[in-house]
Amino acid sequence: MDTLSVLLQNVNLFETKYHRINGAGNWSYAIDKKDTILFYLVLSGGFCLDVGSEVRQAHAGDIIMISNAAQHISYALNYHGNEAKSLDARLVNEADSIIELNPVGDNGDNNVSLILIECQYDKEMTRPLLSVLPSILPELSDASDARFGVLDIEVKLLTLESEKERMGKMAVINHWAGIMMIECLRTYIESLPETTDNWLRALKDPYLAKAIAAMHYEPNENWTIHKLAEVAGMSRSSFAQRFKEVVGMPPLTYLIDYRLRLASRYLRLQQNSISRISELVGYASDSTFSQAFKRVYGMSPKAYRQQYQRKTAV
């Protein structure tokens, strides 16, 4: 399995919601969706997206991913004004419905039709990825790209799903969101310059990518620098130096971080004993696992699980 696929195995997009939005005249809105991944699909017309650090225009056929949707503003291409009202309440109250944006007293023509998809995700498993992604990723829009033909089929399918109530509708939308995330990440990672300090550059490195995939695929393996260097096809010293330069931390530090994040996921979502989880993430003893977990999360694995159970029981 390739490295990006392995990395995304535990991202787990869930509670996916979709909204059909039509804008007319001098429309605008603000969204403040913390800890949410958003996808915009422009069906017709165009609009502007302002994420604070960047303003992006989007046009018919464009697909855009907002990686960690803190507040952003959307508005008509020819918008004039200085205030955008929050759309958050309407996204909750009018979920799975068409939201019409037509300012009072404005008889302007329709200028955009889009689909907005919002997804929750596993925050711990996604943290290293989102920490190095820009707020808004490069749009997918190049119809000359061979893969865009496949995306176009998915887009047409999603459009049909958004217009009808059919069995399996949310499964289709979840599936689409996963495909869009992969395509947006591919485009972004492929565009990274060799000089960037973004650790995702390691996924383009034919040697480091093998080692990272191995750690994610078999976290319970008794990995050493020597074993990882063998997987990468490098000498021990060259591998250790190259990994730290590109990823920003030593290989075993990366491994420990991944193991503990994976353990936190198991504690939240599985009923396995703490001893079994300790084995699954590569710790030889429960006490060693508990000590390592507490150093990072500030509490024992048992306390972490109980805290999560109390939160979800409310």
Q: pLDDT tens-digit profile of 151-188?
A: 566 666 666 666 666 777 777 778 888 888 888 898 89
At a CB cut-off of 8 Å and minimum separation 6, what does 152 contact? Answer: 143
Q: Right CATH number for 3-191 from 2.60.40.790, 2.10.70.10, 2.60.120.280, 3.30.420.40?
A: 2.60.120.280
Straight-line distance from the first to the last Cα atom of the chain, in angstroms, rounded to the nearest whole number: 39
Backbone phi, then psi, for 281, in 5-degree steps? -105, 15
pLDDT given at position 254: 97
Report the pLDDT value the prediction gives residue 5, as an integer from 0 to 100.
Answer: 85
Q: pLDDT below 70 — which residues of the chain?
A: 1, 69-70, 96, 104-108, 142-165, 314
CA atoms lying within 13 Å on the CB side of residue 286: 8
The CATH 2.60.120.280 portion of the chain extends over 3-191
117 and 18 Cβ atoms separated by less than 8 Å? yes
**C-alpha distance from residue 142 to each of 40, 47, 136, 220, 228 (Å):** 16, 18, 17, 41, 38
Find the helix or strand (DSSP H, E) in which 130 lies. helix 123-130
Contacts of 36 (CB under 8 A, 6+ apart): 68, 69, 118, 119, 120, 121
10-40 core/surface letters (b: 16 or more CB in 10 A; e: else): bbebeebbbbbbbbbbbbbbbbebeebbbbb
DSSP per-residue codes, 248-285: SS-HHHHHHHHHHHHHHHHHHH----HHHHHHHTT-SS
Hey, what CATH class is 205-313 in? Answer: mainly alpha
14-49: pLDDT as tens digits: 888 888 899 998 899 999 877 789 999 898 899 999
Give the pLDDT score at 159: 65
Residues of the chain with CATH 1.10.10.60: 205-313
Check residue 139 and give its pLDDT.
80
The CA distance from 182 to 189, in Å, is 10
Separation between Cα atoms, residue 86 and residue 169, nearest integer Å: 28
The three-point CA angle 21-39-10 to 5° equals: 145
184 contacts: CB under 8 Å, gap ≥ 6: 39, 63, 64, 65, 137, 138, 140
pLDDT at residue 163, rounded to an integer: 64
Which single residue is written with the structure tokens 């936190």? 264
